[in-house]
Amino acid sequence: MISTPVPCFAYVREEGRWPSYHRCERKGVVEREGAWYCKQHDPIAVETKRAARFAAWDTKMAEDGARRELEGHKLATWDMLLEALNKVYDTTHDPAIELIAADAIDKARETR
């Protein structure tokens, strides 16, 4: 018995100005709830890919948020640290520490 391949059930949007669709031209390789789909349009594969994209997006958002929070924290402590450094510079009598403090103060002023 020869079985004719069942076409994929999915509709594919066509290029162009107005939305129009044509039936996917590949043959169906997987059956889902009575309809056949090609590998690309298998609803389970589509959903798995979508979920992975969302998970990657969530991870990226969490990382961006953490980075912004850290940057905000650094900026919030900047003035305090600079003030403390200035005090160290004004009161220290150790030339090595004075040199390091002076360099750090210069560096800090460059970026403001």
Per residue, what are the HEC states of the chain? CCCCCCECCCEEECCCCCCCEEECCCECCEEECCEEECCCCCHHHHHHHHHHHHHHHHHHHHHHHHHHHHHHHHHHHHHHHHHHHHHHHHHCCCHHHHHHHHHHHHHHHHCC
By the rule CB under 5 A, 8 interacts with Zn ion: yes
26 binds Zn ion (CB under 5 A): yes
The least CB distance from residue 50 to Zn ion, in Å, is 16
**Does position 101 bind Zn ion by CB under 5 A?**
no
Counting contacts by CB under 5 A, is residue 32 touching Zn ion? no
Based on the shown chain and the rule CB under 5 A, indicate whether residue 38 belongs to the binding site for Zn ion. yes
**Minimum CB–partner distance for residue 38 and Zn ion (Å):** 3
Q: Which stretch binds Zn ion (CB under 5 A): 41-49, 60-68, 85-93, 104-112?
A: 41-49
Residues at the contact surface with Zn ion, assessed by CB under 5 A: 8, 10, 24, 26, 38, 41
